[in-house]
Amino acid sequence: MWKEIKDDKGRTYYYDTVNKKSQWERPAELVKPVTADKEPVLPKDWKSAKTKEGKVYYYNVKTKKSQWDIPKETESKVETVVKPEAKAATVEKKDTTSADDDENKYGSKSVLMKVKTTSKDEAEPLFMAMLKEYNVDATWSFSRIIHELATKDARYWLVDNDPLWKQQMFNKYLDNRTEEQLLKEHSEINKFQNAFKEMLKGKSSEIDYSTTWNNAKRLISSEPIYSHSVVSEQEKKKCYDEYIMELRQQYEQEHHKLKEQALIELRGYLQSIIHVDQDEIPPSWHTMCNQYLFDKNKRYMANKHFVILTREDVLKEYIVLVQQIDARIVQNLHQIESENYSRDRYARDKFKELLKHGIPNLVIRATTKWSDIYPLIKGESAFLNLVGRRGSTPIDLFLDLVEEKYIIVCGLRSIGQQVLIDTQFEWSTDDNINTNGITQILRQNVQFKDVDDLDLEIVVKEIIKARKDMLQEQKAQELYHEKQSRHAFKEMLMNHYIRMNSTPASTWEESQHLFKGTMELMQLTDNTVRESIYNEVRQMIIDQKPHNTETTTTRGKKRPLEPTIALDY
């Protein structure tokens, strides 16, 4: 059996109590002709109207007279008006069936269809008892009451077709809950949170992850779970924040998923332009922006997923591809270097062999120069193969060999110096005499029997050079010590006469007894030098003495007295 019902927003829908179905369209069973009420036919010049309160009155348009009673000579006239909805019914029926006949025809044994309506005053306690029995609390919405209780309990239909009154009873029930019910609701935080979030989900078109709590309160202020709940405002806000966090996480996950898909497609798009597996130089970022990316390229703009990407995202993917190309080039260079390393080493070994044994009548010694051997090796393949390679150059390898020879010479020089000390060799001022004498002594020594004449000549020259360097160093040390002694003696004389505030005697012989036994005097052994320094110091002291020997008085802070002023104390 179909019933016409209005929801909490005043919209009419139809519910089948037998099949438990609901729909917005009027069922065919309810479509029937409707007759209008009998309207009176007023006399000429009379009209009817209604007050603001809906009460009908009558007035004459000519006489401007109005009255509550129907004018005399009024006739009754019945006009049958068929509502548009009735046109869909079977109009072939000539006899209009009553509502009771329809009910018998489509009758149902359901208790809900046999509810006898009562007055609102009588229905109120029964409606309240129904809400209490079903444990209705602030977590319920009025829509839930319609969908759940309207199909279960006949007390819902005690007052029919007045959803506004039922909404008022629901709010009144929530306002008049007992303390026990309030405490129970307060303790069921989880139940409240679930119901509160369900209510927020119903507002998904108005509340999203960016909606603030203050704006949300305005949108849900009329919801019973918000306005009638005993849960504190802080707890409501906490629950709202959790819901918003869930929305934000859901949005971020969806955004991340879409972005990952867009990045995958972007990589394929960029790789169709930048060939990573080739040695071509990739287009610059400026070129990419002007020709292949963003609004400069129709193919790029045709991909709807690219809208979610920022310029920074695209730039990062571009950099990754360029870095891959760079890494591949570096890897290839390392591979080439690895292959060339063995070739470079082989070329160096061949050149070293050339320097040691490959040039006829050429023996590289400690004194050999590059200009001596270059004309001999410049056409050799071992030299030409080494030129231009990484690592040691031909000159470097040549100098290394010369340095090895010089180290050997230095060792022989040390041995030769010890031999000369053991034989008590007497040095001459003539280098030729020293050279012949040293050569003869070393040639007789067993340690030099394998040294050829040219190397022995180099060793002898090094020994003579080392002795000259030693003598020069000794002379420099003597000059330095003499200079230090002169300076110390001069400082000693100056300090003495300044401290004594006296003028030196005219000759050194008259004053030398004053400094007898001093260290400065003993270190400076040459008496002529002593006398020269003494005269220099004496002249300096005389020059420092003031020419005006008259005693000068310094003016004090007090004003000097006149010589004629006589003091009375």
Measured CA angle at 212 (ends 209, 214), to 5 deg: 150
Burial class (CB in 10 A: 0-12, 13-18, 19+), 207: buried
**Torsion angles phi and psi, residue 60, rounded to 5:** -100, 125
Alpha carbon distance 283, 18 (integer Å): 74
d(CA 467, CA 434): 11
- Furthest-apart CA atoms within the chain: distance in Å: 178
DSSP one-letter code for 163: H
pTM to 2 decimals? 0.40
Per the listing, tokens 């602030």 go with: 138
pLDDT at 99: 45
- Averaged pLDDT, groups of 10, the chain, 569 residues long: 69 71 71 50 76 68 72 53 40 43 51 72 85 78 79 80 82 73 62 83 87 89 78 83 90 90 92 81 90 89 90 92 89 85 90 88 89 91 90 93 93 93 91 92 91 91 93 93 92 91 89 89 89 92 68 48 51
pLDDT given for residue 553 in this prediction? 44
Domain boundaries, the chain: 260-324, 478-544
> Nearest Cα to 101, choosing from 32, 38, 18?
32
Provide CB contacts within 8 A for 451, sequence distance 6+. 412, 459
What pLDDT is attached to residue 387?
92
Strands of 156-301 (E only): list them. none
Tokens coding 80: 């049958």
- Residue 404 has what pLDDT? 93
**Interatomic CA distance for residues 401 and 307, integer angstroms:** 70
* Contact by Cβ (8 Å): 277, 329: no
How are beta strands 39-41 and 75-77 bridged, if at all? antiparallel
**What is residue 264's predicted lDDT score, i.e. its pLDDT?**
93
What is the structure's pLDDT at 413?
92
How high is the pLDDT of residue 162? 81
Gap between the Cα atoms of 518 and 512, Å rounded? 11
Cα 395 from Cα 385, distance rounded (Å): 14
pLDDT for res 175: 78
Element (H, E) at 442: helix 431-443
Q: How distant, in Å, are the alpha carbons of 134, 259, 425 from that of 272?
A: 66, 20, 89
What gap in Å lies between CA 32 and CA 84, rounded to an integer?
10
For every residue of 306-322, DSSP letters joined together read: GGG--HHHHHHHHHHHH
SS (H, E, C) 393-433: CHHHHHHHHHHHHHHHHHHHHHHHHHHHHHCCCCCCCCHHH
pLDDT of residue 183: 63
What does each C-alpha distance from 155 to 117, 150, 159, 169 come to in angstroms? 9, 8, 8, 13
3-class secondary structure, 47: strand
- DSSP-based three-state secondary structure for 564: coil
What pLDDT is recorded for position 199? 86
Backbone angles phi, psi at 71, to 5 degrees: -60, 155
**Cα angle for residues 511, 516, 520 (degrees, 5° grid):** 100
Q: Report how far residue 210's alpha carbon sits from residue 189's, in angstroms, rounded to the nearest whole number.
A: 25
d(CA 155, CA 128): 9
Nearest CA-CA partner of 351 in 388, 377, 390, 376: 377
Summarize the chain as % helix, strand, coil (round to 5): 60, 5, 35
Contacts of 478 (CB under 8 A, 6+ apart): none
Side chain identity at 17, as an amino acid letter? Answer: T
| pLDDT, position 474 | 93
Of 20, 6, 9, which is closest to residue 113 (Cα–Cα)? 20
